[in-house]
Structure 1
Amino acid sequence: MEDKHEEKLYKAQDRVIETLAKNMDLYGITMSTGLLYGTMLFQNKAMTLDEMGEALEMSKTSMSTGVRTLMDLQMVDKIWKKGTRKDHYEVNLDWHQTFIDFFSLKWRAASEQNVHAMKKSRQELLSLLQSGDLSDDLRSRIELSIDRIDNALAYYNWLSRFIDALESHEIFELVPKDPVQE
């Protein structure tokens, strides 16, 4: 009877692992790295690269690449274990903070790059408007482009404030963390 229950446990865990792995493309994570994350999630201990490779039947190199990706995204932490020289890794269980860390990093980097390009283009277009030899059609298209850039800059200003609310955890005042729902 115990074996049957254990089989059901593994089946339930495998379903979650596979679903997480399939959906982690939102984070730009490969399926194999997603499977690694899911596998680590259900461990009751920190794992070495060797243990990960054995659990997933993958090479230590693949595990190392996957763990490095997950560490960069702050989804996995390296921990020290007394009496061993091997590195051990465990999943960061604070999914709220993982979301904040990942998306804040990605959104801020993309936003800053876009804002820089837009401000530079806006300045060039404003200078172009100062030219006296523009047709009405060209002037109208330049003004439309400036208007569209201004609209985008307003969005990126909002996005920056949203990222600030995530990083400061003010977001949880507006959208509180809920207890686990059945």
Structure 2
Amino acid sequence: MSGNEQLERARERVIDAIAQNINLYGVTESVGRLYGSLYFQEEPMTLDAMKDELGMSKTSMSTSVRGLMELKMVEKVWKRGERKDLYRAEMDWYQTFSDLFTIKWRAGVSANINAIEKSKKELFELLNCDNLDDEVRLEAEKMLAKLDYALEYYDWLQRLVNSFESKEIFDYIPRKKKDTD
């Protein structure tokens, strides 16, 4: 096996691992392959070049790139003399994880808090009924206690997300320094 073949095999192995594991962050495998491919590129790529590299349609490629940009995993860059849009992967995986984590978890926390608050309001209305069955009252009170506990958890989770956004998390779990830092 030639050196170039070994390089390509090593590169593809990592891209495959990224593609298989990126679903942990709510990203599809094909979008993970795109990110992995961009990560190993030395120069930014056009949509046409990405399409050729991955064998996806230009529409699918455009949608995938837009999704990666929303997740802050890919950015559009400008290059003198180039008329087509160019894109490159975010190379700082600490930043990529922080951005991805905060975007995904903020949305999840918000949806859950909204559902809990709406349910609490309905339970309070139920508890204010004059002729409420004692068994229903007891169950509503138990449910309210569970919902209050859930809100405490979501408060903690929001503070965790804030620590990623502010980079305070690195005060508790520092990044390892490279020899060149």
TM superposition score normalised by structure 2: 0.91
1:90 matched to 2:98: no
Between the aligned partners of 1:142 and 1:30, the Cα distance in structure 2 is: 40
The correspondence of residues 122-161 of structure 1 with structure 2, limited to 5 A, is 122-161=120-159
The correspondence of residues 40-51 of structure 1 with structure 2, limited to 5 A, is 40-51=38-49
**C-alpha offsets along residues 139-161 of structure 1, whole Å, 9 cap, x if unaligned?**
21111011111111111111111
Give the aligned residue type for 2:53. A
Larger mean Cα displacement after TM superposition, 169-178 or 98-107: 98-107
Match of 2:33 among 17, 32, 35: 35
Between the aligned partners of 1:127 and 1:99, the Cα distance in structure 2 is: 42
Q: Percent identity?
A: 48
- The equivalent of 2:162 in structure 1 is 164
Structure of higher RCO (CA pairs closer than 8 Å, 6+ residues apart): 2
The correspondence of residues 3-152 of structure 1 with structure 2, limited to 5 A, is 4-152=2-150
Larger mean Cα displacement after TM superposition, 109-118 or 68-77: 109-118
Alpha-carbon distance, 1:179 to partner: 4.1
Gaps of 5+ in 1: none
Between the aligned partners of 1:30 and 1:129, the Cα distance in structure 2 is: 44
**C-alpha offsets along residues 113-138 of structure 1, whole Å, 9 cap, x if unaligned?**
22122123213322322333223212
Structure 2 counterpart SS, 1:29? coil
CA RMSD, aligned part only?
1.6
Give the aligned residue type for 2:30. S
Larger mean Cα displacement after TM superposition, 156-165 or 55-64: 55-64
Structure 2 counterpart SS, 1:102? helix
Between the aligned partners of 1:110 and 1:32, the Cα distance in structure 2 is: 23
Structure 1 counterpart SS, 2:72? coil
Give the aligned residue type for 1:56. L
Give the aligned residue type for 2:61. M
Q: How many residues align?
A: 178
Give the aligned residue type for 2:123. L
**C-alpha offsets along residues 93-114 of structure 1, whole Å, 9 cap, x if unaligned?**
1111111212212211221222
